[in-house]
Structure 1
Amino acid sequence: MKKLEGKIAILTGAAGGIGKGMATAFVKEGATVVIIDLNEEAGKQTIKELQEYAPESIFIQANLAEHDKLAGIVKQVADKFGKLDILVNNAHASRMNSIAETTQADFDLSFNTGFYPTFYFMQAALPYLKETQGKIINFASGAGINGDVNQISYAAAKEAIRAATRVAANEFGPFGINVNIIAPIAKSPGLIEWAEKNPEYYQGMLAKIPMRRLGELESDIGRVAVFLASEDSDYITGQTIMVDGGSIKLR
């Protein structure tokens, strides 16, 4: 049997990039996925590809900054499929600015698309995940762990997500719900675009990765997500899993 056979999964920000890589890995392991993204065109194209493996998978176009609508999305999914097994909070938008130049708008963008959706989706999914003893996968970043320059709004939101994940692990653990974090370095379209514009900085970053490469979206990041979404990870919770080629070694 496939690792996620019969599972229903919500993945945010999954029309492309890391989210699409995870969704593809999920459907190949038997899951039915609901991908949520602001980009309608990309979402429709991606869901067509995913439906080749999981015909019942669907795309929901949504602006995750509209927090009052997020609980309704979770209910819509649970009502349609009769349950919810997996929640993956991947979506996040931000702007790079130094501390001196960062504005309230920068913080609002980062927290409204990253931290708050993660919180509200976890809150809304809790009753359904209690029924299935489900899994939650949230996303952090080396930018927050290392304190990367020009990343204050993004780093702050990502570290807030890590804190919320640890609290959720403690509160949800008695219900059999696992809550973990992936902190990746991956060959996403955004990173590739940045690398092309900043080749010297990119080469310096690559040299600091012991594996000397970027993570593949499906085979590297997606497969770890499958592990965390499956029963193989039943005794792991509250952890930050660095899927970054060895760049950061947490202690």
Structure 2
Amino acid sequence: MSVLDKKVALVTGGGQGVGAGIALALAAEGAAVAVLGRNLPSLEATCAEIHRRGGRAEAFVCDVMELEDIESAVQEVVDEFGGIDILINNAQILPLGDILELSEDEYHLGMDSGPLATFRFLKACYPFLRGEGAVVNVASSAAVKADSAGYGAYAAAKEAIRALSRAAACEWGVDNIRVNCIMPLANSPAMASWVESGEDEVADFLETVPLGRVGDCEEDIGRVVVFLCSADSAYITGHTIPVDGGQALLR
């Protein structure tokens, strides 16, 4: 048996990058995966790859910044699969730029797509997660970098997600719901394009990673998420795990 047989996983932002990698990894271990996002063709592409490998997945169009979309999507997933055992909050709009350059609208996009969406999904999925539920929220090491210039709003959103995750872990331990975060350094489409560009900064950046490479979305990031959703991590909750080749130093 695979470690996630008979489990149902909901993954936001599952159409590409980290979300797609996590969806593929969960499906490879037997989970039925609900792939959520705004772009149906990309969601269907992730599902098609899961189907090609013999897994089960369905696409659900959902704008994570809309409460009605979230509530409807959660109910649709439950109707389709019979429940939800695993919640992966991955979707996030990146509000990048110096503080003096960013508008309030850009700041709010980061907050609405990140911590507010996470807050809403936690509440919407809670009734179905009780018993043996697992939540993995995607954070970032942006807030713990030595130089976080240009990342202030993004880091603020991701640190808010970490705070919510810790609170949910403490409040829901009695319900046997585990909530953890990961901080991935992942070979997303944007990152892959930059690394492959061969710019001078790429080599300097990779020198900050002890393992010397950017993580694969499925094999490096997704496999850690599988672990955090499996019985092998049954005594881990409320923590943040860097999945970044050793780049971040958490204190």
Deviation beyond 4 Å, 4+ runs, structure 1: none
2:208 corresponds in structure 1 to 208
- Contact 2:6/2:31 (<8 A) preserved: yes
Task: Tell me if structure 2 keeps the 8 A contact 1:67–1:116.
Answer: no
1:209-237 per-residue CA deviation (whole Å, 9 max, x = no partner) reads 00001111111101001000111111000
Mark the CA change 1:210 to 1:157 in structure 2 (over 3 Å): closer, same or farther.
Answer: same
What letter corresponds to residue 155 of structure 2 in structure 1? A
Residue 221 of structure 1 corresponds to 221
What is the TM-score with the length of structure 1 in the denominator?
A: 0.95
Change (3 A) 1:167 1:54: farther
Secondary structure of 1:171's aligned partner = helix
Distance, in Å, in 2 between the alignment partners of 1:83 and 1:40 is 22
Residues matched between the structures, number? 250
- Higher mean C-alpha deviation, range 144-153 or range 11-20: 144-153
Please report the TM-score for the alignment, with normalisation by the length of structure 2.
0.95
Q: Is the 1:134–1:177 Cα contact (8 Å) retained in structure 2?
A: yes
Higher mean alpha-carbon deviation, 113-122 vs 196-205, is at 196-205
Alpha-carbon displacement from aligned partner over 1:193-212 (angstroms, at most 9, x marks no partner) = 34456822222211010000
Q: How does 1:65-84 map to 2 (within 5 A)?
A: 65-84=65-84
Question: Identity rate of aligned residues, in percent?
Answer: 39
Q: Show the counterpart of 1:2.
A: 2
Query: 2:111 aligned with 1:111, yes or no?
Result: yes
Residue in structure 1 matched with residue 91 of structure 2 by the alignment:
91
1:134 to 2:157 alignment: no
Report the AA paired with residue 57 of structure 1: A
Which residue of structure 2 aligns with residue 162 of structure 1? 162
Q: Deviations over 1:77-99 (max 9, x none)?
A: 11222221000001111232101
Q: Write the letter of the residue equivalent to 2:89.
A: N
SS at match of 1:236: coil
Unaligned runs of 5+ in 2: none
Q: In structure 2, do the counterparts of structure 1 residues 199 and 95 end up closer, same or farther at CA, with 3 Å as the change threshold? A: farther
Question: 1:32 corresponds to which residue?
Answer: 32
